[in-house]
Amino acid sequence: MTETTKTHVILLACGSFNPITKGHIQMFERARDYLHKTGRFIVIGGIVSPVHDSYGKTGLVSSRHRLTMCQLAVQSSDWIRVDPWECYQDTWQTTCSVLEHHRDLMKRVTGCILSNVNTPSITPVIGQPQNESSQNFYQNNNNVSSKPTAAKILGKVGESLSRICCVRPPMERFTFVDENANLGTVMRYEEIELRILLLCGSDLLESFCIPGLWNEADMEVIVGEFGIVVVPRDGADPERIMNHSSILRKYKNNILVVKDDSNHPMSVVSSTKSRLALQHGDGHVVDYLCQPVIDYILKSQLYINASG
């Protein structure tokens, strides 16, 4: 496939991130590597979306702390950013609502129509924002070329998002451009197809099979319209999990299971294990959390006791 026919993807991960772990970041990296290797996708960005405080999970620390820890965890990444939208709403938001928010946000700032897994768009999906003037929106500052490259276009999307995003945490990372991705030579913006995919571990996929836990209409939208990228965890078999849900079976082709030869210790995704290590003064906490996050936790005296 040429660069213009590949699907451009933004990976969105929702969760408590209480705290965010090395494993959470590894999930993004593994998913991106796998999608690139398929030859069908180019991952242009990753979004970490921490849950609202009213989610009500035992030991959930304030979103103020969780947002800061997430920012610290991705500060060295040039393609993953933290989005505060969920945390700044009046109440808890469903995963479906978060996906729809980001889809609608992309529509507003780009004037585009995003495709989904069932109906690939034949409409320009990255275009000139509707509220901008008719001047050359993608003009290179150095006047080397007036043609819109993928990096210019996607960079402008990120800049627009940073301007209109609600209240932002102190450390800002609002760019979707992966400078290391092979985006190829010049491509017309009309040719870029963009999708937002939910990134999750197999534990979240397994939760879809628990009767009454998820709203079925939401599941239809999440799996049927957006699609999921699943990173297997703790020896779980995503294929077996999918066979236990009629909706997952129905949209099986919309579920991308990451398959690679790496032996990443996905147990380090566990926020629970990292909190226990902190409570017990276990030096192995460095296996779970990056040093800036550990430093922030100690400075803020988080997770010192079992109640969080």
160 within a domain of the structure (yes/no): no
Does residue 228 lie within any of the structural domains? yes
What's the pLDDT tens digit per position in 78-94? 999 999 999 999 999 99
Please tell me the total count of domains within the chain.
Answer: 1
Residue 142 predicted with pLDDT over 70: no
Does position 272 have pLDDT exceeding 50, yes or no? yes
217 is in which domain, residue-wise? 7-114+193-300
Asked whether residue 178 is domain-assigned, the answer is no
- 7-15 β-sheet, strand order: 80-82, 41-50, 7-15, 193-201, 228-231, 255-257
250 CB burial (10 A radius; 0-12, 13-18, 19+): middle
Comparing C-alpha atoms, which of 60, 55, 53 is closest to residue 87? 53
Q: How far apart are CA 254 and CA 224, in angstroms?
A: 7
Instruction: Please indicate whether residue 1 or residue 45 has the higher confidence score (pLDDT).
Output: 45
Alpha helix positions (H), 52-148: 63-74, 95-110
**From residue 223, how far is each of 3, 42, 84 by CA, in Å?**
26, 20, 24
Place of tokens 């963009």: 194
pLDDT at position 230 over 80:
yes
Query: Rounded to whole angstroms, how far apart are CA atoms 19 and 277?
Result: 12
Instruction: Output the domain CATH number for residue 219.
Output: 3.40.50.620
CB 129 within 8 A of CB 110: yes
- pLDDT (mean) for 22-44: 94
Residue 37, in any domain of the structure: yes
pLDDT for the residue 56:
85
254: in domain = yes
* Whole-number Cα distances in Å, 218 to 55, 96, 179, 207: 17, 6, 34, 13
Residue 44 lies in a domain: yes
pLDDT score recorded for residue 264: 57
DSSP letter assigned to residue 123: S
What is the pTM (predicted TM-score) of this model?
Answer: 0.76
Residue 269 carries which DSSP code?
G
Tell me whether residue 61 is in a domain: yes
Over residues 158-187, the pLDDT tens digits come to: 453 443 333 333 333 333 333 333 333 333
Residue 209: half-sphere exposure toward Cβ, Cα within 13 Å: 15
Under 8 Å between Cβ of 179 and 238: no
Q: Across-strand partners of 201?
A: 231
| 249 belongs to a structural domain | yes
Binning pLDDT at 50, 70 and 90, where does residue 301 land?
Answer: very high
189: its two tokens: 């913006």
Distance CA 174, CA 282 (A): 34
Res. 49 pLDDT band, cuts 50 70 90: very high
CA distance 218 to 191: 30
> Pairing between strand 228-231 and 255-257?
parallel
Hey, which bits of the chain come out as E strands?
A: 7-15, 41-50, 80-82, 193-201, 228-231, 255-257
The predicted model gives 130-157 an average pLDDT of 38
User: Model confidence over 193-210: pLDDT tens digits?
Assistant: 788 999 999 889 999 999
2: confidence class by pLDDT, cuts 50, 70, 90:
low
